[in-house]
Amino acid sequence: MSDSDVLIKSQTGSGKTLAYGIPLIQLMVQDWKEKSFTREDGTRSIVIVPTRELAVQCLEVLSSVARPFPHFVPGTIMGGEQRHKEKARLRKGIVTLVCTPGRLVDHLRTTESFHVAALRYVVYDEADRILDMGFQKDITFLLEHLKQKGTKVKKSILASATLDMRVQRLAHVTLKDPVLVGYDQQNASAEATEEGKEGEGTAAAESSAKPAEEENYARINPNTELDTECSVPPTLRQHYIICPCKWRLSTLAGFLRWKLDSPHPNKIIVFLSNVDSVEFHYTLMSRTRITRLSGQLTAEEKVERDIRRIKLKELKRKRKVERLRAAAKIERQMLGEELSDDDVDELDEEDQLDELAMEFGANQSDKNTVPFLPYNMFRLHGNVDQLERVSVYKSFAAAERGVMFCTDVAARGVDFPGVTWIVQYDTPGDERNYIHRIGRTARIGNVGDSLVFLMPHEVRYTHNLRRHKLYPERMKPEVVLFHLAQTLGATDFAEAAPEMQGHLQTAVMNDAELLRLSKLGFQAFVRAYATHPSRLRSIFHPNELHLGHVARSFGQNQKPSEIDSKEFKKTKAEEKRKAVDKVMFNKVDQKAEKKKEYKPAFVLKAEKRQKDLKALKAPTKKRPVHLNALSEFESGLDLEPSPKPKKRRKM
């Protein structure tokens, strides 16, 4: 509770938000007792978070903590929201502001009613993620802006799950003599002293050549690696599974069905490397259907099936009789005989029989197949609209069972209650991403499990994890295939993967939308696989991929060379064009506006005069000759040229 700054390193799910939220509100209460303030005085505290979902979550926590103090009005500004609404909230006043860095800088530059002169407390939550997402310049701009406004910040807090050299350099820039919480203070102080000396030397050498903003940015943005030690909750059990590339998709489907069918309710998060893969797997798992086993039918369903078969036979017999009657009626009609009311009613009845027959046939096909995953499914990535993202966050948090396919947008700081399994279907690469992904489960003392899918040539990745004190245990794929065989009714678990692959492949090839998403996902996966860090390139090398097997893992039965066809390229180009049109829909052509602004008045008058002269010199169109106005001796052709119109003299 002192005025000294704080540097917090804590494992994911340990309650960092409450750790800084409660003291923050208490410090503001003490300030209010010394000198009362209202929302009209401006923002008193700012909490900076990297993602929108984390902003929503932090706002909920701080709102509940500040509920006894209604004058501490909390609020949020973040990307995806409407700026004019955020400006209206800032104009009224927000005492405790939760924000993302980009939108904070935007309002500092453009919103005059955003007052930060009374700012006293700044919190940098998930600092490592803020640096990963490239917000170094935004943080530097914030520090310079506060200096220009003369704002005196009493206390700054920096919280992070991992502590590398980048976070330490950010702490040197933003914190003054911080209190260290959550790690070995002797080693940290020694490192901080060394880095502080280096930073001072660098600043002294470059102060004459660089402005303060560039100097701070250079100190924040070095290229460094992760700490050698990583801490995870003791209640988190880590697993990995070695699966050939061509059976990855069927193994994932079998694992999801196995865990969701268990008596204990499970919530699963599946992490993928890109947006296209998320869209494909979400759509595929939602639409895949399998043949229903006869042993799965209850006694009531068997009775309904028998009744349906009897009705269908009766309908077929009636249709045959009515077809003969209709032929006789048509013959009478062709002979000129009129149809009576009874005949018309019989024809209507025939049409109804056809509709009923089609309906019973469709019901029969639906009854013979069932959804493979009859559970709640969600998707979350950066291209989802903000309203939908909030809806997905709340729905998945409230669900008892379900699966959410997402990118790393949900890997940092977001708390989904009751998540029991984390599946890293696409490898995270960097160890920081691995730690933050598995940190979505086993939170606040709860038990959780994680599973990472590895191909045979990626097994060495486990040795890299062990170097950082992360010890996943191997899960045999036979366990997953055994439960998948029970679901499909296969006699041998070795046949389960090929049979499931057949169901998935049929769903993809029979659906044009799924086929398009499959092609997009295939290409995006190959591109993302080539972006692993250079120090891990020996493990995740693109040359080790069998592209044919990768295509099968996306439900394809085509050769990889056939996937990138001209039609597909055209569709992809159209999608990009539509996305650009959507972004630029309400924007004005700034270049044209600038040209109009800087044109002098005499130039505009001269252009207008030239347009008027061109309009006068343009040849006049001949009026059409109406044939109905001609006499019988005229042909309608102009044999003699019409006289030219005389020019009018200017008065």
- Phi, psi dihedral angles at 495 (to 5 degrees): -85, -10
Structure tokens belonging to residue 572: 């992809």
For residue 372, what are the CA distances in angstroms to 253, 260, 271, 289, 553? 9, 11, 20, 5, 17
Of 162-176, 454-468, 590-604, which one has max mean pLDDT?
A: 454-468
- Region 45-53: mean pLDDT is 92
Q: How far apart are CA 583 and CA 577, in angstroms?
A: 10
Strand order in the sheet with 6-9: 74-77, 96-99, 45-48, 121-124, 155-160, 6-9, 179-181
- Relative to beta strand 236-242, strand 448-454 is parallel
Mean predicted confidence (pLDDT) in 209-216? 41
Asked whether residue 195 carries a pLDDT value surpassing 50, the answer given is: no
- Predicted confidence at residue 205, as pLDDT, reads 40
Query: Lowest-confidence range among 180-184, 376-380, 496-500, 575-579?
Result: 575-579
Fold match flag (6-220 vs 236-288+373-580): yes
CATH class, 236-288+373-580 region: alpha beta
Which strand ranges, in their side-by-side order, compose the sheet holding 473-474?
377-380, 402-406, 267-271, 421-424, 448-454, 236-242, 473-474
Q: Tokens representing 444?
A: 């606040």
CA atoms within 13 A on the CB side of 91: 9
What is the mean pLDDT of the segment spanning 464-488? 92
At CA 298, angle to CA 297 and CA 304, rounded to 5? 85
The residue that leads in pLDDT, 630 or 149, is 149
Going by pLDDT thresholds of 50, 70 and 90, the confidence category of residue 362 is: very low
- 289-291 and 369-371: which strand pairing? antiparallel
Backbone angles phi, psi at 156, to 5 degrees: -125, 140
- What span, in angstroms and rounded, lies between the C-alpha atoms of 577 and 311? 52
Return the domain boundaries, the chain.
6-220, 236-288+373-580, 294-369
Q: Give me the pLDDT at residue 599, please.
A: 66
Cα 650 from chain centroid? 70
Q: What is the DSSP secondary-structure string of 165-217?
A: HHHHHHHHHH-SSPEEESS-HHHHHHHHHHHHHHHHHHHHHHTTTS-HHHHHH
- pLDDT, tens digit (0-9, with 9 covering 90-100), for 304-360: 767 777 877 777 777 777 776 777 766 666 666 555 555 545 445 545 545 554 444
Query: How far is Cα 6 from Cα 22, in angstroms, rounded to an integer?
Result: 14
Q: What pLDDT shows up at residue 189?
A: 44
Q: Which residue type sits at 177?
A: D
pLDDT, one tens digit per residue, over 217-262 is 434 443 444 444 567 888 999 999 999 999 999 999 999 999 999 9
Q: Give the tens place of pLDDT for each residue, 101-149.
A: 999 999 999 999 999 999 999 999 988 888 888 898 999 999 999 999 8
Both structure tokens of 455? 């191909």
CATH class of 6-220: alpha beta
pTM: 0.67
Closest CA to 38 of 48, 46, 47, 28: 28
Helix (H) or strand (E) holding 379, with range, is strand 377-380
Which comes out higher in pLDDT, residue 502 or 164?
A: 502
pLDDT reported for residue 649: 61
What are residue 422's DSSP bridge partners? 269, 450
Which two three-digit tokens encode residue 378? 């969600």
pLDDT of residue 311: 76
Number of neighbouring beta carbons within 10 Å of residue 157: 26
Q: Say which residues have a Cβ less than 8 Å from residue 248's Cβ, sequence separation at least 6.
A: 425, 453, 455, 553
